[in-house]
Copies of this chain bind each other. A is one copy, B any other.
């Protein structure tokens, strides 16, 4: 698939068919992830491939708890009808974990260490594009408390759960969200 097509047509998928994802597709998605750039080529990412239903249910419970908390804290009313059932129904969830020790000069900067997270986000975008090119839907999910996800997935305290990426055959066409005209986003210094 052409790279511009993948970039433009990929959308967040929230409804999945139960059909399992082929091992070789998961492999291709993760190989795409690791070709992302990272500060000093530190490759700060790790992946947990989750197909066990019990673990998906635990992640779903944590998302439900977080949504309830979010509804109370933010006052965002739409959260009241936000289900996150895709965590139960996606045939595979890939947790992307970042290692703050594998970063750039930001390790010494006062704003704190964040470049390793940027690299993980670039890897995640590669995963979405690869999944779409393979005919799969994917969702970038971050509605969780990191401490809880660390506990559920037995992740070291020093590492950062960046996102849960839900992947599977899409059930129906994902909603085609629009974008603002790019012109509104650009300033020139000529």
**Chain A positions 1-37 with a Cβ under 8 Å from a chain B Cβ:** 1-8, 10, 12, 27-28, 30-37
Looking at the complex, which one of B2, B111, B143 makes contact with A146 (CB distance below 8 Å)? B111
Looking at the complex, which one of B48, B51, B117, B145 makes contact with A109 (CB distance below 8 Å)? B145
Copies in the complex: 2
Known: A1-B2, A117-B114. A187 touches B48 (CB 8 A): yes
Please count how many residues in chain A sit with their CB below 8 Å of the partner chain's CB atoms.
Answer: 77
Q: Are B46 and A187 in contact (CB under 8 A)?
A: yes
Write out, one digit per residue, whether chain A residues 155-186 have a CB within 8 A of any chain B CB (1) or not (0): 00000001100000000000001011010011
18 cross-chain CB contacts under 8 A: A2-B3, A3-B130, A4-B133, A8-B35, A10-B37, A27-B182, A31-B182, A35-B179, A36-B125, A39-B142, A43-B179, A43-B185, A76-B105, A106-B142, A111-B146, A118-B120, A121-B121, A121-B125
